[in-house]
Structure 1
Amino acid sequence: MQHGHRDHEHHEHRDHHDRYGRHFGRRSHDDSDTRHPHDDGHGRHRRGRGRQSGRLFDHGELRLVVLALISERPRHGYEIIKEIEDRVAGTYSPSPGVIYPTLTMLEELGHATVAEADGKKLYTITPDGTAYIEANKTALDQALARMQSVNTAHGGGPAPEILRARINLKMALRLRAARGPLTEQQVRDIAAALDAAAVAIERS
């Protein structure tokens, strides 16, 4: 009798796992994983309050935003990252780990084409991509309105020139770090340059 009870409990546990474990045990790698700036997930948040869901973009919206940006003019991945950051007043910056797979997906879906330009991959929207935007205009408009709301809430954020300079600085540090370890003298030189820039900004 006791053995039968254990079998029943085991069956219920397995059934519970089948119904719930499969759903929550795996993560989907789509752009709905792009978190709002409060979460240090695929993007980086600097300030501001997010939506109740904790994400800046709902499922599929980041893909639409990226497509809309390349519909304005051909762009490369870094430019798209910078443009999104500019449009939300610097409060959020999607990581390359989200943007580049999204661009690859758009290319595979036939929504964008890619060409080499000055050593960079330049993405251009296709007629199918334009049709996709038109078919999902409501979702795109909601995402763009949300971005504008964030921008307005933060007074428009820093000037675009400052945002670009900040991004360039971060990129320069990353590229230098990727080249290998720094010597003690190089560390001192970089720290001195950053300190000097900070002093100049404070005195401006």
Structure 2
Amino acid sequence: MEKKIVVQSATPRMLESGLCGLWIAVAGESFGRIHPAPTTSPVHRQQFLNHEFGHMILDHDKELIPGRIAYSLSLLLSPISLVIGLGLTATVDGLTSSGRNFRDRVLLWRITPLWQRLLADTPELSIERELSPLQRLIARVPGAHLYRRRVEIRDSLLLHPEQAVSPAERGLIDLAEVRTQAPSPANHTPVVGTPR
């Protein structure tokens, strides 16, 4: 027998209790109910529905329990689910940010000697303060320092194209540019300067 599916949006309290969707099948009825949590995003709504469809298609084990017990159990488990979900989100965000900061910090260390050499004769081009090795190591936002140093290196090379820049240094400047700008072929300009 083919079951029909009735989709009804749940109340906003469903999200407060940590549930994104609910599939209810009642013995003896020829239809199943799916109650997705309310959302303004059609993508999220479809994701909630697909999740519940998965339970139906896979015919996950069902245990008939009184509605009051199911309701009480969902209220007890929802804070735990919410804490786990928020914790995982924060962990993923933290790891992503840490990885980006680590790569920026390594590149900041690599580009600093070039920045110091090129701006030694024209310190007026720089708004970036000199950072000690310890400050470079613990800079809160190394990407901002990397961006400023990259811009100041470009400015110095534009004003003094006779400054020698090795191919390795050109590659370093290009790498800093890629790290500090949205990757797009239209944004990429070749390095100015004479080869060493």
TM-score higher than 0.5 here? no
Question: What TM-score does the superposition give when structure 1 sets the normalisation length?
Answer: 0.28
> RCO (CA 8 Å, sep 6+): is it higher in 1 or 2?
1
Larger C-alpha radius of gyration, 1 or 2? 2
